[in-house]
Amino acid sequence: SQTVRRDEDGVLTVGGIPATRLAEEFGTPAYVLDEDDFRARARAWRTAFGSGADVFYAGKAFLSRAVVRWLHEEGLNLDVCSGGELATALSAGMPAERIAFHGNNKSPEEIRRAVAAGVGRIVLDSFQEIVRVAHIAQELGTRQRVQIRVTVGVEAHTHEFIATAHEDQKFGIPLAGGQAAEAVRRALKLDGLELIGLHSHIGSQIFDMSGFEVAAHRVVGLLKDIRDEHGVELPEIDLGGGLGIAYTSGDDPREPHEIAKALTEIVGRECEAARLTTPRISVEPGRAIVGPTAFTLYEVGTVKPLEGLRTYVSVDGGMSDNIRTALYDAEYSVALVSRTSEAEPMLSRVVGKHCESGDIVVRDTFLPADLAPGDLIAVPATGAYCRSMASNYNHVLRPPVVAVRDGEARVIVRRETEEDLLRLDVG
């Protein structure tokens, strides 16, 4: 990010604060988040789409009350996918009408809370949910604005576990076999629902825009069928999130304005061809906003050279603060940040402290051969899906999130304590 630099001693500084000072003050491991960078990315997405579209930050990537306030101030909306995320959003003052509620298995209780709060939209994910939400809205004496999530049969070029638009998976209602058209038919009949549009999300960590092109083509195709059958033009279309970020030097992400231009053009072109009024577009980037804004700061512990193989560098966290390497074979980079070193590079694997051999943070990397216990290393691009997927495996305590801005650092999510752990254990 803009505000991450090295000073003369080779110490990494973020927002004007040396990593060494952050480690002293807040301990390690810690997620260090650059607030200016977060705000700049959020703003870039909003301005790229202008006033003709809406940007919903996907809270699953990382959510806290400070983040909700930043989003609010920067004019973004918020996508939540559980009662917990909804509660966080509301408690930090996000206006309910700027919240979208997602999920393939929202509980009746979660739906009731969302409807009662007045969320701007609920994204319907199944035939059963269409009826469920309509019922609850009627019970509460209201009409809920909804979109229907359709699966368009696009498999984005990404890791299999995180691709969500090919047919054989749990999300959405397939376009195939007229299922989505049938869902629309039912939703339009129910008094408790105001169907405002269609939703498509094709996957995550995507660089290639062609998946979005196919998705938009198919979604607009359904909009046209709806117009022909029912005489209504649905006013909104959401193309989901999924835009990739750079984890290693090989990745080449698109800028928000390029993405906005591409998506707006695709939808405009498709609608013109179908002689439809262009609907209002929305998108749901999570990773692309928060991913690059944070790094994880670790202290090096045991350094174990294995003759003829590599050196295992153990850090004071691991798969409990970053499961992505173990789960998706995700690639990260890492650097020594507490000093410079002239030592030879050594082939290394950065591992955690968990009782599991798959507990790897960075599979293959080079670190200086004089690396020693007490050195600080940092893994960049851990803002998305690291704290939000953190666990207590081995009763390891989840790290804090420290936000840095204008030379000041403050904890926005505090470090877990043993008391926190024991408080839940009531046996």
List the beta strands (DSSP E) in 251-396.
280-283, 294-306, 310-315, 335-336, 345-351, 360-368, 376-380
Q: Is 284 annotated as a binding residue?
A: yes
CA pair distance 6, 212, nearest whole angstrom = 38
The two structure tokens encoding residue 350: 């950065």
Q: Is 242 annotated as a binding residue?
A: yes
Least Å distance, CB 385 to ligand LLP, is 3
CA pair distance 246, 387, nearest whole angstrom = 18
If binding is defined by CB under 6 A, does position 83 make contact with ligand LLP? Answer: no
Closer to ligand LLP by Cβ: residue 11 or 44? 44
| 228-264: burial string, b at 16+ Cβ within 10 Å, e else | eeeeeebebbbbbbbbbbebeeeeebbebeebbebbb
Closer to ligand LLP by Cβ: residue 367 or 381? 381
Q: Is 113 annotated as a binding residue?
A: no
Task: Give the x-and-dash track for 33-72 against ligand LLP (CB under 6 A).
Answer: -------------------------x-xx-----------
Q: Is 57 annotated as a binding residue?
A: no
CA pair distance 271, 273, nearest whole angstrom = 5
Q: Is 286 annotated as a binding residue?
A: yes
Residue recorded with tokens 């408690």:
91
* CA 321 centroid distance within chain: 15
Q: Is 285 annotated as a binding residue?
A: yes
State yes or no: is 355 an active-site residue: yes
Least Å distance, CB 229 to ligand LLP, is 26
Q: Which of 81, 271, 355, 386 is catalytic?
A: 355
Least Å distance, CB 158 to ligand LLP, is 8
- Amino acid present at 138: Q
Question: Rule CB under 6 A: which of 279-318 touch ligand LLP?
Answer: 284-288
Instruction: Tell me which of 240, 318, 380, 400 binds ligand LLP, using CB under 6 A.
Output: 240
Taking alpha carbons only, the member of 59, 137, 144, 66 closest to residue 103 is 59
* CA 110 centroid distance within chain: 21
What is the size of the binding site for ligand LLP (CB under 6 A)?
22
Q: Specify the length of the chain in residues.
A: 427
CA pair distance 377, 299, nearest whole angstrom = 6
Task: Evaluate the CA torsion angle 163, 169, 170, 174 in order and state its sign.
Answer: positive
| Beta bridge partner(s), residue 124 | 148
Instruction: Tell me which of 28, 144, 204, 314 binds ligand LLP, using CB under 6 A.
Output: 204
If binding is defined by CB under 6 A, does position 102 make contact with ligand LLP? Answer: yes
**Among the candidate windows 46-54, 278-286, 307-315, 391-399, which touches ligand LLP by CB under 6 A?**
278-286
Closer to ligand LLP by Cβ: residue 154 or 288? 288
Helix and strand totals (H; E) in the chain: 12, 21
Least Å distance, CB 381 to ligand LLP, is 11
Least Å distance, CB 201 to ligand LLP, is 4
Closer to ligand LLP by Cβ: residue 296 or 348? 296
Closer to ligand LLP by Cβ: residue 18 or 83? 83
**Beta strands 17-18 and 236-238: pairing type?**
unpaired
If binding is defined by CB under 6 A, does position 385 make contact with ligand LLP? Answer: yes
Burial (Cβ within 10 Å: 0-12, 13-18, ≥19) of residue 312:
middle
Q: Is 110 annotated as a binding residue?
A: no
CA pair distance 409, 53, nearest whole angstrom = 34
If binding is defined by CB under 6 A, does position 106 make contact with ligand LLP? Answer: no
Question: Rule CB under 6 A: which of 161-180 touch ligand LLP?
Answer: 162
Binding residues for substrate: 287, 324, 328, 356, 385
Binding residues: 242, 284-287, 324, 328, 356, 385
Q: Which residues bind ligand LLP (CB under 6 A)?
A: 58, 60-61, 79, 102, 162, 201, 204-205, 240-243, 284-288, 324, 328, 384-385
Annotated catalytic sites, by residue? 355
Binding residues for pyridoxal 5'-phosphate: 242, 284-287, 385
